[in-house]
Structure 1
Amino acid sequence: MKRLLLLLSACMLPATAAPEKKIIDGVTYHLLSAKPSQIRMVWKDAKGGQIETFPQAVAHLASEKETPETIMNGGIYEPGGIPSGLLIQDGRELTPLNPRNGKGNFFLKPNGIFLIGDKGAAVIDTTEYPPAGVKVTQAVQSGPLLLRRGIIHPEFRAGSPNRLHRNGIGVAKDGTVVLAMTDIRSPKYPNLHEFAKLFADLGCEDALFLDGDISQMRSGEALGKPSGPFGSFIAVVKEVKPADEAP
């Protein structure tokens, strides 16, 4: 009963603003839900310069007249901060799809793509890209897939001892985007099977692993504090209501 209450509480995530901290099965998570229209990928500025830190991401979004509420680092990247696979920012493909084989989490097939298109948000298998009839405006490729159509990645083992700090992103059945990251000070970390199950318990049928030890999710004053370099960012921006909806 206690686990059921925890999961039901976790599913009632805040609609943007600051992430909510929840303890589930002994793991402390930062959880946040947002509308697809609030998601922005951030890697390059208007002049083509690379955006590497949280303050730079905030400055870029401000220059685009956007107000970031929460920013989380994006997918796995190569030396020099180059995304390991597809990166689409505001409708522009900045790095291409990477279907190659290799070692490490990114290449643990199936890997996948989180995207925002004219039909909403989705997480798909890399082999399913590009989705037919969808105009993609934001996308990031990473790996492995955590969930696809409600099925946990076949390589994950429930009893795996590989427990690490992790972050990921999923899409709930109603189209809501769900961001999740373990707390760096959590007394316990999840293995990949448990991390995938978290997204399933939060109502997601599809979810994608983003990164590991370096992962950060920031909101409020923390957005402006110095940070180390990252390869890309996923921002949740303040929703702008039409004038006729303003209070």
Structure 2
Amino acid sequence: MWKVRLALLLAVVLGSGSGAVQAAECRTERFEDESYTVCAVDIGRDDLRLFLNDAESGAPLGSFGAIENKLKAEGKALAFAMNAGMYHADRSPVGLYIEAGQEVKGLITRDGPGNFGLLPNGVFCIGDGRAHVIETLRYARERPACRYATQSGPMLVIDGAVHPRFLVDSDSHYVRNGVGTSANGRKAWFVISDNALNFHTFGRFFRDHLKVAQALYFDGKVSRLHAPGVNRSDIGFPLGPMVGAVIDAKAAVD
């Protein structure tokens, strides 16, 4: 029943940036002997948002459960959600963050320590009926209109190429998550690896399996997914920015 329910919620392209539109759900896909959970979103139809702080208290939401509690009061629920960008100890975003058209944190263009500063990094921008992964310096030049935006890094795929600093045989293995977008901005694929792997392996999944030209890393050690349709809701340390697709609560119940 959950497959039928999510099929009605999300009309998406699976497995290819240019494939045919099919009814789909968050599901497991395999590539090069690795397993991934992929949630695909139709940007023109689905209500995709970023979440950070409670509107009333100003305190960080921090968890998928806190988002669900807030949405419940609106008669809404999450079709899926995942962490969406790096954050400081107080859970504030490391780089650019825009929510409902309001810029909470400004863009960072310099390099720096850690994965965020491994340039090129990028921005996931949700606009009107479109969403794009945009390399940071390009974003700084073009300043696209984003209702929601989160900056993270590094880029996984830039113009069809895996990030030049990724090593094929790197022994840095973590469960990782990120997002890729179609060229026309109508589709976004949110991916979390089911096992620990390195950056190059993760980037190849976006480039060679999903066949997207732009993809952005969200995080590693804290990567988590909330997907009620597949009976999954990861728990762990409190989160900073999160991304999720919002649906009518009645549609989420059989």
TM-score range, shorter chain: 0.7 to 0.9
Deviates more, 1:57-66 or 1:156-165: 57-66
The C-alpha deviation readout for 1:9-30, integer Å capped at 9, x for no partner, is: 744797564x201232222211
**CA-CA distance at 1:132 after TM superposition:** 3.5
What does residue range 156-235 of structure 1 map to in structure 2 within 5 Å? Answer: 156-175=166-185, 176-183=187-194, 186=195, 189-200=196-207, 201-220=209-228, 222-223=232-233, 227-235=236-244
What does residue range 1-247 of structure 1 map to in structure 2 within 5 Å? Answer: 10-11=15-16, 17=25, 19-36=26-43, 37-47=46-56, 48-118=58-128, 120-130=130-140, 132=142, 134-175=144-185, 176-183=187-194, 186=195, 189-200=196-207, 201-220=209-228, 222-223=232-233, 227-238=236-247
Change (3 A) 1:60 1:167: same
**Paired position in structure 1 for 2:4:** none
Deviates more, 1:31-40 or 1:130-139: 130-139
Question: What is the aligned residue count?
Answer: 227
Contact kept in structure 2, 1:118 and 1:134, CA below 8 Å: no
**CA-CA distance at 1:65 after TM superposition:** 4.8
Q: Quote the Cα distance in structure 1 between the aligned partners of 2:123 and 2:48.
A: 14
Q: Quote the Cα distance in structure 2 between the aligned partners of 1:133 and 1:86.
A: 12
The C-alpha deviation readout for 1:208-240, integer Å capped at 9, x for no partner, is: 0000022111121655x8653001111022389
**CA-CA distance at 1:151 after TM superposition:** 1.7
Change (3 A) 1:145 1:159: same
Contact kept in structure 1, 2:158 and 2:213, CA below 8 Å: yes
Q: Quote the Cα distance in structure 1 between the aligned partners of 2:24 and 2:86.
A: 24
Change (3 A) 1:181 1:90: same
Q: Structure 1 length as normaliser, TM-score?
A: 0.82
Q: Quote the Cα distance in structure 2 between the aligned partners of 1:137 and 1:15.
A: 26
AA aligned opposite 1:24: F
AA aligned opposite 1:26: D
**Paired position in structure 2 for 1:245:** none
AA aligned opposite 1:168: G
What SS does the corresponding residue of 2:170 show, helix, strand or coil?
coil
**CA-CA distance at 1:129 after TM superposition:** 2.1
Q: Structure 2 length as normaliser, TM-score?
A: 0.80
**CA-CA distance at 1:63 after TM superposition:** 4.0
Tell me the percent identity: 30
Q: Quote the Cα distance in structure 2 between the aligned partners of 1:54 and 1:94.
A: 20
Deviates more, 1:52-61 or 1:131-140: 131-140
List runs of 5+ in structure 2 lacking aligned partners. 1-12, 250-254
Q: Quote the Cα distance in structure 2 between the aligned partners of 1:9 and 1:125.
A: 24
AA aligned opposite 2:216: L
Q: Quote the Cα distance in structure 2 between the aligned partners of 1:88 and 1:193.
A: 29
Change (3 A) 1:226 1:24: closer
What SS does the corresponding residue of 1:78 show, helix, strand or coil?
coil
What SS does the corresponding residue of 1:57 show, helix, strand or coil?
helix
What SS does the corresponding residue of 1:136 show, helix, strand or coil?
coil
List runs of 5+ in structure 1 lacking aligned partners. 1-7, 241-247
AA aligned opposite 1:198: F
